[in-house]
Structure 1
Amino acid sequence: MENTRQDIFTQIEHWAKDLSGPNILWINGFPGAGKSAIASSAVAHFRASHRLGSFFFFERSKALSQTPSALWRRVAYDLSQIYPTARNMIVAKLKEDEAVVSTANIIQLFNELVRLPLSSKVEFPAGRMPIVVIDALDECGGLDGSRSIYRRHLLNTIKQWSYLQPSFKLLVTSRIENDISQVFQSISDSVVSIELFTGSSVSLKSASDIGFYLSNSFAEVRNEYSSLSALEWPGVEAIKALTDQAAGLFIWAKTIVDFVKEGDPTEQLEQILLGNLSKGSIDELYCLILKIAFKNPSPKVKKAIQMITGTIIAVKTPVSSNDVLALYPSVILPIMMEYVCRGLKSVLAADSITLQFSHQSFIDFLTCSQKCPPEYRFQASVQNQQLCIACLELMESNLCFNICRLQTSHLCNDDVPDINKLVQKYIPSQLHYACHFWADHLGQTQYEERIIKDIQRFIYTKFLFWLEVLSLTKKMQLCSMALTQVATWVEVSIGLFLYMQ
């Protein structure tokens, strides 16, 4: 929100203008401290001042597409668009070696398309030295976290950035995690660190900013209700109490505001104030929201909540509510889908056509918090097994010969008139997902005889039709990868099964 975090932005501006000082700024803090909001505001500011070189926001749910390679290709492209001299060097490198843009060697890609062009005698306009912004570095690699090879490669390239001239700036936000902290400590001479304190260490300025945010947000709510517009609802004491409970966590304050907007605002807020929440405990807040949204849920509702939230976490690329309904047609009905999504509205991304949680902290709550009710807790092997079976059943029901109703098989796909429209019409998004990712979910599934039989039936009756979909969606490279995963899974799973007998 405008007029908040001014102390932080003053420090960012000082770092950005110091062209002889450290060239990396690491903004770090616990989940919900406001790192991404600061990064978004910084991007807008640098763009307005003509210093934005590039920006990249990692999301854990998009780990397959948001890779270090994608990051540095984006940076190289953006730099070439803004700075002609950099463009000349990057184009020359691509002419010399076209394969570099698709290399699996991320260090090579970074060095040849980013580091070398910036290290050479490239002329940049005075006052327009580029600043690159990377948000949520800790979300690179998805749920694998520090175990992810993607994340290790990314951290290595950030170390390489520290060897560039001080005038080439890199702003990074992340949580404070061991592998990330160790890398920044190893290049400490090139790094300025800003920690966003929360809990008992929260600064008076951060607390004031949260109070300002709450006051303005509740004023917007108040203006929507004529019965509240003449009052000073919720009052200074309530704002003060909520600010104190937030303990520096902007996501805590935002979640409260979103929750209050989802019903009678006075009643919603009263339930929060009477909840006796610990200071800064986002997990306790999520527990209370689930308890209020789903009062005395039946076993069927609990199962639906766990399946829907688990699917949002486990899918390899974001899916829509219609995709979830198509994957579980006999388990989750439309009315149940609508009911669950309505109850989760305060933690779902508001402006997304796909189902995504608005903040990583809610995923953490479901996956590893001891405060999460057991009936809602994410179970990776169970969820991946459900998705694997759902994908196999969906392909069994929908794959067929000549799925796009092509008039002839004598043309290459790209030569077929309106091929993209045909693919979109006849291969719905849920079938698209099932064909691309069923084997990925299989690889994270425990042995079950039913799955062996489903795979056997799929290979015997639908294999060629699956290949057709991979060809039409330009993903034929997934075939060998999927079959390798199947072979490995069968070998390991049957071996373990026989060992246990």
Structure 2
Amino acid sequence: MSQDTEYMDARGAAFNNVGRDQINADHVIINPNSLDFKALLNPVPDATYDSIEGVEGCLEGTRLEVIGKIMEWIDGHDDQPICWLNGAAGSGKSAISRTIAGLCEGSDRLGASFFFWRGAGRRSVIAHFISTLAYNLAFSVPEMRQYIEKVLLTDDMIVHRSHERQFRKLIVDPIRSVTRTLQPMVIVVDAIDECNDKTMMANLIGIVARAFQYHRLPLRFFFTSRVEEHILDRFAASPALAATYRVNMHDFDANVDIRTFFRSQFTTIYEQKRRLMRNVPLPWPSESDLDKLVGKSSGSFAFASTLIKFVNDGRDLPHRQLRAGLESHSGLDPLYTQVLQSAPCGPHFTRVFVTIITIKEQLSITGLSCLLQIEGGDVVHALEGVQSIIMVPEDDEQPVRLFHTSLRDFLTTKARSEHLFMNPTICHLSTAADCLAVMTAHDDHDIYESGGLKYAAQSWCHHMLSVINEDGGSNDFFFQNHVIMNKLTNFVSRSFDSWINSIIFHEVAYHILHTLDSLLSVLMVRLLPCISL
């Protein structure tokens, strides 16, 4: 059953079991068995700081200065309820966020957490951000739950209301209704720049700030992000955000901590591979080599982490891999280039790799094999040489994901990746073709339920629209591609009914048909000049 279907069923059950006459404006009378609290809020389960897909926290003994500054804000600064930690990609913001969340939980001050991740399905959009926070807060502050339940019973569509109304009804009003004195509860929101809904995220920051303008709330919001225009403009332009407590990663020297990280990780590698490295003298690496590595990192923990994975990926002896890493230039881009240039390009490597970079949500090994119509073993084999930059899980049902989203930015920016450049137009065209092909190949299915088929049904319109948008207005690339046109024709003639049934069954018809309408509108506008001729 899909989450949206689960939500609809739970909503109906709530009103079958509880009449509106049971709700009193002054006193909430709730039968705990009367509604499915989780299904109605529909939280994002893997967005919390301690989820199985979460990032690791800081290595013990590192980032103490920046963590201390943030904890100082949490313990005081009542006039600054919002903190914004900003810094460059790979500077370790998410690791710090996880450490802060863990420290707050240890002192019973963690209200909720949400870690955005680009390309990770519901973690990359804002749709259930507020309801996820409300769900977590109901457990952190149990007295809030009855008030949130009252909202769900009086307005069963609250999770589809405006963000301002959701925030007020699900968070502000319930926490103001708690009678006991609360120490400020911290809400950790990591990587808001990873949210695809940029305009809505900027607006949401303003909504949070205005709530603190009008109410004295026992809450602290801790945001992290890269300095991107839509976020910077919001923090700079809004009077409500003038008192934001700002922490800039550039103000903290990370070199000592990166050196500590390197030494710890290389010691572990040496211990694990002692037999392979018995002729390598200690200390390994040498102090001079360690100095070079720290310099190459330029304050980037993403570089340090990726280099460790590269050294330990098993393609060669660790000390030889390290030597290759030392010969690269500074920063992640040369390291990405080195990994990709040395990766064995088997028969399925390009298709698998392009798909992982292009798809809008993560798929498992099983899902990718279905979408690409190849064996799961082929997917794993294709990725064996790039496991230092792509996480390949042991479980075929767990998602394959990038270690850092900067890899996607690198590959789709020609000035950075040069000969490794992946043209987004071609990538989306290839993925759209795969989506259409796999649905046509399974035209005997009434509903597409498996991961790869389900993704194809829900995303082919998105990839087709992306082809046109990325193509910069040219019709030739799209219409003169006979492969995609043939696949589209076959899909419409053989699998259209199954597709319609699937998107209706999974409760996503409105959003997908909206994308299809946008696709058709763009095509009509661009075809009109040709038709008039």
On whether the aligned pair clears a TM of 0.5, the verdict is yes
* Matched residue, 2:356: 312
Cα deviation for residue 189 of structure 1 reads 3.7
The residue correspondences of 1:123-272 to structure 2 (distance < 5 A) are 123-127=179-183, 129-141=184-196, 148-163=198-213, 164-165=215-216, 167-185=218-236, 186=238, 187-197=240-250, 203=253, 206-227=254-275, 228=277, 231-263=282-314, 264-272=317-325
Partner residue in 2 for 1:274: 327
Q: Which residue of 1 aligns with 2:27?
A: none
Q: Secondary structure at the match of 2:143?
A: helix
Post-superposition CA distance 1:34-85 (Å, at most 9, x none):
0000011111111111111000011110355543331111111121222233
* Aligned counterpart, 2:173: 116
Q: Alpha-carbon deviation of 1:482?
A: 5.3
Superposition map of 1:405-416 within 5 A: none
Of 387, 390, 397, the residue aligned with 2:441 is: 397
| CA shift digits 1:229-285 (9 cap, x unpaired) | 77322222222221122121111111111100013101000111123x13xx22122
Q: Distance in 2 between matches of 1:95 and 1:326?
A: 41
Aligned to 1:355: 400
SS in 1 for 2:337: helix
1:463 equivalenced with 2:505 (yes/no): no
**Residue 458 (structure 2) aligns with:** 436
Q: Matched residues in 2 for 1:15 and 1:448: separation?
A: 57
Alpha-carbon separation, structure 2, partners of 1:216 and 1:496:
64
Note the C-alpha offset of 1:456: 4.1
Is the 2:122–2:128 contact (alpha carbons within 8 Å) kept by the matching residues of 1?
Answer: no
Whether the 8 Å contact between 1:68 and 1:153 is mirrored in structure 2 is no
Tell me the residue number matched to 1:412: none
Deviations 1:305-345 (A, max 9, x none): 5543332232122123443344344xx78776445412211
What is the rounded CA distance, in whole Å, between the counterparts of 2:64 and 2:160 in structure 1? 41
Q: Deviations over 1:363-421 (max 9, x none)?
A: 221122623133x3232221111111111111111022656xxxxxxxxxxxxxxxxxx
Q: For residue 479 of structure 2, what is the aligned residue in structure 1?
A: 448
TM-score with structure 1 setting the length: 0.82
Partner of 2:360, secondary structure, is: coil
Counterpart of 1:106 in structure 2 is 163
User: Secondary structure of 1:54's match?
Assistant: strand
Cα distance in 2 for partners of 1:496, 1:439 equals 24
1:483–1:282 Cα change, 3 Å: closer
Aligned to 2:61: 3
CA contact (8 A) 1:348 1:357 kept: yes
Instruction: Mark the CA change 1:439 to 1:25 in structure 2 (over 3 Å): closer, same or farther.
Output: same
Structure 2 regions of 5+ residues with no counterpart? 1-58, 469-477
Question: Normalized against structure 2, the TM-score is what?
Answer: 0.77
- Structure with the bigger RCO (C-alpha within 8 Å, sep 6+) is 1
What is aligned with 2:35?
none
Distance 1:126 1:151 in 2: 28
| Alpha-carbon distance in 2 for matches of 1:37, 1:479 | 35
Corresponding letter in the other structure for 2:321: Q
Write the distance in 1 (CA, Å) between the matches of 2:429 and 2:341.
28
Contact 1:258/1:346, CA 8 A, preserved across alignment = yes
Query: 1:420 is matched with which residue?
Result: none
- Do the aligned partners of residues 66 and 334 (structure 1) sit closer, same or farther apart at CA in structure 2, a change above 3 Å counting? closer
284-293 or 483-492: bigger deviation: 483-492
State how 1:67-82 maps to structure 2 within 5 Å: 67-82=125-140
Q: Could you list the runs of 5+ residues in structure 1 that have no partner in the other structure?
A: 143-147, 404-422
Who is 2:155 aligned against? Answer: 97
Greater alpha carbon shift after TM alignment, 490-499 vs 59-68: 490-499
2:415 matched to 1:370? yes
Q: Would the alpha carbon gap of residues 11 and 388 (structure 1) be closer, same or farther in structure 2, given more than 3 Å must change?
A: same
- CA distance in 1 between counterparts of 2:117 and 2:497 reads 34
SS in 2 for 1:445: helix
From the superposition, tell whether residues 350 and 191 of structure 1 become closer, same or farther in structure 2 (CA, over 3 Å): farther
Distance 1:497 1:385, change over 3 A: farther
The alignment partner of 2:247 has SS state of: strand
Partners of 2:433 and 2:132 lie apart in 1 by 36
Question: What secondary structure sits across from 1:61 in the alignment?
Answer: coil
Matched residue count: 453
Give the Cα–Cα distance (whole angstroms) in 2 for the partners of residues 124 and 193 of structure 1.
30
Give how far 1:487 is off.
3.0
Percent identical pairs in the alignment equals: 23
| Distance in 2 (alpha carbons) for counterparts of 1:444 and 1:496 | 21
1:491 to 502, 505, 524: 524
Q: Once structures 1 and 2 are overlaid, which stretch shifts more, 251-260 or 165-174?
A: 165-174
Higher mean alpha-carbon deviation, 31-40 vs 431-440, is at: 431-440
Deviation digits for residues 5-33 of structure 1, max 9, x if unmatched? 11111111111111623111111100010
Q: Which secondary structure state, in structure 1, belongs to the residue aligned with residue 467 of structure 2?
A: coil
2:112 touches 2:140 (CA, 8 Å); kept in 1? Answer: no
RMSD of equivalent CA atoms: 2.8
Structure 2 residue matching 1:172: 3-state secondary structure: strand
Residue 439 of structure 1 contacts residue 485 of structure 1 at CA under 8 Å; is this kept in 2? no
